[in-house]
Structure 1
């Protein structure tokens, strides 16, 4: 019987145009991608329980307590099973500096649990063109999702395994997900059992975990593409980069943008020019 894997994905980066971090409008993120993690189907339920318990240990004395009090003051019923801690809040620069040891330990526990159960981390993205006229949000999303299906299909074909994709139900992506059916049926992606399914993250601990991981993927990819704009994001590379690199498969953020020459390359080019100029002057004198 073929083995089955479940893929949990969320978005990282930003789907809109990007010009620079200092631009008045298009300044959010230089990349967009989809990422999360993969688990064998028999490891999904235990992992959901593990992540739920981890959230309780991390947040029951403050965040959850606050959420309960807020619900009570608003005359609402608090449901612990659907309470979320967003990755953008959990993995902020301020949090990482203030709670470094807690974040490193809890993130390591998550990644270790995934890999120890036969799973792996996974993400695909790309740097965006800096000219808004060249930026097509629909095509960027479609490109990432199509590439994800292709890479996972190739990965599981070698194992004679099949897979399903669960994605966070983000606004505006429904039509794009439907188009992935074409990729599934027309391009021979036979390991994918059904078209990707969009679900409410409040109901899925696994999707919430994908959101946490995407918060890290987003900051690392930002720093890799434009380090001078967010030098503080180097902290995420330093504390999580190696761990993610060792736990991922077939993952990257594609960057085909022209790259600025490094200081070392500029110095080497200057030396080459100066040497050539000196030789020319010597010839003229002779």
Structure 2
């Protein structure tokens, strides 16, 4: 049996740009994490806990159980980590290598948000979360027609506090990585241009399931699948169409796209 550890990628709020003073969190929302054979889950959890305890020994307070102490993925993979804390990337890469040796895989399913305020896009946070949750379960459970192991699911996913599960903590790290890779693909001046080229993250490439998907919203290019979010090339900005547009025309097209989205959501 396979166990899946799932967390959220990004947040459900509206998005305009990472530098916007209000709507800046993430250009996509979804779910991600990792799957691992049942018999290997405890071994990986113990390995992660021990590595975390050693690596962050100077940050863990003396009065807190190291196993429950949590390093958030957002703090691990901050924008300047490639220069200021490259060892964070090496730690993550080594953990992914260990996961792969145990026949585990990473996965994600996220959907690009319409760019604009909630009023402009007519799409509130609750509506977006509900839609994405439904899409995620349909994506995961839909594998049953082709993957026999999915027929062995016996109950809905359980909600576990990350402080009580080291594996859920690792899922948070994977979601943070996916969030940054997605931002690189969807935001032209992204702060995370180092994600696709960081040597320490080499084990990540090829580790995502083939069903992993970033669903683009009203775009003229195909969705991104598997490890495509980790490639240096960015179809959204490298396409011939986009290369011939100046910034003003891009803004005009984005306004047209936003108006189309708002009308579709009415």
Q: TM-score scaled to structure 2, two decimals?
A: 0.75
Structure with more helix by fraction? 1
- Distance change (3 Å), C-alpha of 1:216 and 1:261: closer
Which of 143, 151, 160 is matched with 2:139 structurally?
Answer: 151
Are the structure 2 counterparts of residues 113 and 268 from structure 1 closer, same or farther at C-alpha, using a change threshold of 3 Å?
same
Select the residue among 3, 7, 10 that pairs with 1:13: 10
Determine if the alignment matches structure 1 residue 90 to structure 2 residue 96.
Answer: no
Change (3 A) 1:104 1:266: closer
Structure 2 segments unaligned to the other structure (5+ residues):
221-235, 247-266
Corresponding residue SS for 1:51: helix
Q: Where does residue 64 of structure 2 map in the other structure?
A: 78
1:122 paired residue number: 107
- 1:179-233 Cα distance to aligned partner (Å, 9 max, x none): xxxxxxxxxxx543211211111010000001111111111111111122x2x30
Deviation at 1:82, TM superposition (A): 1.0
Q: 2:187 maps to which residue? A: 226
- Cα distance in 1, alignment partners of residues 98 and 184 from structure 2: 27
SS at match of 1:141: helix
Do 1:122 and 1:251's aligned partners in 2 also have CA atoms closer than 8 Å? yes
2:177 paired residue number: 216
Instruction: Call closer, same or farther: CA 1:23–1:119 in 2, change over 3 Å.
Output: same
Deviations 1:236-279 (Å, cap 9, x if unpaired)?
12227764340111112211244777695467689xxxxxxxxx
Cα 1:245–1:155 shift into 2, 3 Å: farther
Q: Which has the larger radius of gyration?
A: 1
1:179-194 maps to which residues of 2 (within 5 A)?
190-194=151-155
CA RMSD across the alignment:
2.6
For structure 1, which runs of at least 5 residues remain unmatched after alignment?
69-76, 163-189, 271-286
The answer to whether the Cα contact below 8 Å between 1:19 and 1:130 also exists between their aligned partners in 2 is yes
How many residues end up aligned between the 2 structures? Answer: 226
Which of 91, 113, 123 aligns to 1:106? It is 91
**TM-score normalised by structure 1 residue count:** 0.70
Q: Is 1:247 matched up with 2:215?
A: no
